[in-house]
A and B are shown apart, each in its own frame.
Chain A
Amino acid sequence: MALDIMKERGTALNKQQFTWKELVQVPYSKLDDDAFTRVRVILMNGIEAESLRFKHMCARFNPHLQVPLAQIRRAEQHQQTMVNWLNPPDQSPLETTIGFEQVAIELTAFLAQNEPDPYLKQVMDFGLLEDFDHMYRYAALMDRVEGRDANTLLQCYTDILPGRPTSVEHRAPEDDLRVNYEKATASPISKLNAVILVAAETQTHDYYMTVGPMFADPTARQLYAEIASIEEQHVTQYESLSDPKETWLEKWMMLELMEVYTYFSCAKQESNPRIKKIWERFVDYELGHLHVAMDLFRRHENRDPAEVLPASLPEPIDFSSQRKYVRETLAEQVDFRANGRQIVTLQEDSQLSIAYRQRMNREGSPSERVAAGYQWRPGTELAPKGNGHGHSTRQVSP
């Protein structure tokens, strides 16, 4: 079913109401629900967090917009709560971390495949292989410190093997910025992709910064410190893709559109019927927010929102295993590096980044040490090799 964003006005802002009990619903089941339900919950929490963050910054610079921003933030605060509180209490911070990296891998891989601008796609592929490596490092941590198998969360959708090694992802700040799209010529999906990735990476950074010190094991504390640093680099990278010449209201409208788009994608594929209803409800809430922003755009910029917004939503995000694409990208680009705003080959690596990396790693690299000699296998590396049931594995083509 197509969604006509210009005509569908969704739920009016003053009808977007909650009770405390409503905000705190029965969480999804870590054991029984599909891994992509967790992926969607984590993603949408990050999307709402970005929306709040943007609106706070916007309010600091735009006194005339402060009231509607505050009104929408109130709804979004509670939307974020309802979504984030779907994470179950038997899911530890490290288990949730595995979910975060699954979001980063499967989502980025999907967005990259649907990105029409080759440069932006290159940037996404670059980030993808780094988050892919984080998964491997955290899986090693989970196996070796807690004796637990990360695949109980991943449900075989996502590979657990080295990507671009985390230890070489450390770059000088100058090599983390990228070239922004041009607002006049970029396609709407490019704009949406950029803001989705900023949201996902920022919440990942913030999550690691929050839970990192909760770990007792020194290697766990170090690994979170190291990977949080990369996530901050990723925020820098993806944030720089958006055109800084976009006005506050242009950015605000695209943000609301992105929320409609992501909730719509979630609603379309959700396998948990109770959670599907939440996604559907919030599609309507976000349409309401979008139309508030459109009305403000008309009033304050005297322009038609159709100059900025597409006539219809892009194809929904496909929440499914992107293993084939990830493997192809890995095979072709694992050695790529960044130099200035360009993604380059290993030979063209930046001297600034090499020096920075050597300095940070001079007392050793937590991500290397945690995974020294590590190869994931079913049931942890304490289990015998094979398929987890005592049988040898057979060859299957991807």
Chain B
Amino acid sequence: MMKNQVEIGKNRTGIALSPIDSQLLIQGAEAAPPSMPGNESAINEARTAYAADGAPIGTMPPPVTIRGIAVGLVDAAKGKNANVFLDKLGERLAFERTGTRLYDAVLSKFDASEPLPAGPARAELEQIKAEEAVHFEMLREVMVSMGGDPTALTPSADVAAVNSMGLLQVLGDPRMNLKQSLEAILVAELVDNDGWETLIELARTEANASVVRRFEQALAEEQVHLSNVRRWVRAATVQREGSATAR
């Protein structure tokens, strides 16, 4: 049974466990001059120099339908954000798709774990997972209706996936417990809520009212996800610390 409590053990990462060796290590480092004077600024200089080359991670794919080309033309005429909208639409689409899989992973942790004091219940996790999948499908339909390619990886979707790499590592690792996994989910839900708000703002000028309404519905559901996950994480953390003190 997976435990959600962190216990005191033989963590060896700090120097306090090695009183003699740590003194030797510190004295050795203090006595050895660096082979070149300076500081960490050279690392920033290298970043700036490479960034100045201006190579992007990639571009938006060209529109695939007449509708998409028309959107592009309207966009050019209005000088507005159609391209930005499709890029962020692609990001949300990919995020909701991955989000569905993240909840699959949380469900497996749930099945292996002792229960947490304030939830979740399995049905609550299943409901969130189902809603993430519905959001993905809805975004896919909107992308098609806007003339975009829902199978393409847009630049913002790629950046969001890089952002989420750590979340997948936490959720995939069977040694990271349900509480720790929900903390990763909390990061995802926080980002997701913000992402939906931005997307709705873009949709007000770049899409029709029905799309805006569907997005607002999705945001309302995401707000419930966030508040639930927050509650579970806080209750699990504070409860654990409290019970440890009581012992």
Interface residues of A (CB under 8 A from B): 26-27, 30-35, 88-90, 144-145, 151-153, 155-157, 159-162, 165, 167, 217-219, 222, 321, 323, 327, 366, 368-378, 381, 385-389, 393-396, 398
Contact = CB atoms under 8 A, between A and B. Distances in A.
Given A167-B35, A369-B38, 7 more contacts: A155-B13, A155-B18, A368-B36, A370-B43, A372-B38, A377-B29, A387-B15
A393 B26 contact: yes
Residue among B11, B23, B37 facing the most chain A CB atoms (10 A cut-off): B23
A162 B42 contact: no
Residue among B24, B25, B27 facing the most chain A CB atoms (10 A cut-off): B25
Interface stretch (B81-89, B167-175, B186-194, B207-215): B167-175
A375 B23 contact: no
Given A31-B12, A144-B43, A159 B173 contact: no
A147 to B, nearest CB: 11
A192 B163 CA distance: 46
B46 A26 contact: no
A396 B20 contact: yes
B247 interface: no
Considering the complex of A and B, which 9 residue pairs feature the smallest CB-CB distances, nearest first? A372-B38, A161-B32, A156-B21, A369-B42, A156-B18, A152-B13, A396-B23, A376-B29, A218-B50
Contacts of B169: 89-90
Residue among A30, A165, A396 facing the most chain B CB atoms (10 A cut-off): A396
Contacts of B37: 372-373
Given A378-B22, A387-B22, A372 B36 contact: yes
B35 to A, nearest CB: 4
B12 A162 contact: no
B10 interface: yes
B18 to A, nearest CB: 4
B39 interface: yes
Given A32-B10, A90-B169, A375 B27 contact: no
B109 to A, nearest CB: 15
Contacts of B25: 151, 156, 159-160, 376
Contact of B34 (A34, A90, A373): A373
B34 A89 contact: no
B173 A165 contact: no
Contacts of B22: 156, 378, 387-388
Nearest to B169: A89
A219 B42 contact: yes
Residue among A34, A159, A366 facing the most chain B CB atoms (10 A cut-off): A159
Nearest to A30: B13
A368 B42 CA distance: 9
Contacts of A377: 26, 29-30
Given A159-B28, A162-B32, A323-B24, A152 B14 contact: yes
A310 to B, nearest CB: 35
B51 to A, nearest CB: 9
Contacts of A35: 12
Q: Which range holds the interface residue count of chain B?
A: 35 or more
A374 B34 contact: yes
Nearest to A167: B35
Nearest to B48: A218
Nearest to B38: A372
Nearest to A370: B43
Nearest to A27: B175
Contact of A395 (B11, B27, B35, B42): B27
A371 B45 CA distance: 14
Given A31-B12, A155-B18, A218-B47, A375 B24 contact: no
Contact of A368 (B9, B15, B35): B35
A34 B12 contact: yes
Contacts of B41: 372
A376 to B, nearest CB: 4
Contacts of B123: none
Nearest to A33: B12
A372 B37 CA distance: 5
Nearest to B174: A26
Contacts of A151: 15, 25
B16 interface: yes
A398 B26 contact: no
Given A89-B173, A218-B46, A219-B46, A156 B30 contact: no
Contact of A371 (B16, B24, B35, B172): B35
A292 to B, nearest CB: 37
A378 B49 CA distance: 31
Contacts of B21: 156-157, 321, 323
Contact of B43 (A34, A217, A394): A217
Contacts of B11: 31-32
A300 B20 CA distance: 56
B173 A161 contact: no
Contacts of A389: 16
B42 to A, nearest CB: 4
A190 to B, nearest CB: 31
Nearest to A139: B29
A387 B23 contact: yes
Contact of A396 (B24, B175, B176): B24
B34 A31 contact: no
Contacts of A394: 23
A144 B15 contact: no
Interface in B63-89: none
Nearest to A133: B35
Contacts of B17: 155
Nearest to A371: B34
A217 B47 CA distance: 7
27 contacts: A31-B13, A32-B9, A32-B11, A89-B169, A89-B173, A90-B176, A151-B25, A156-B18, A156-B22, A156-B25, A159-B24, A162-B35, A217-B43, A222-B46, A323-B24, A369-B36, A369-B42, A369-B43, A370-B42, A371-B35, A372-B36, A372-B39, A374-B34, A377-B29, A387-B22, A395-B23, A396-B24
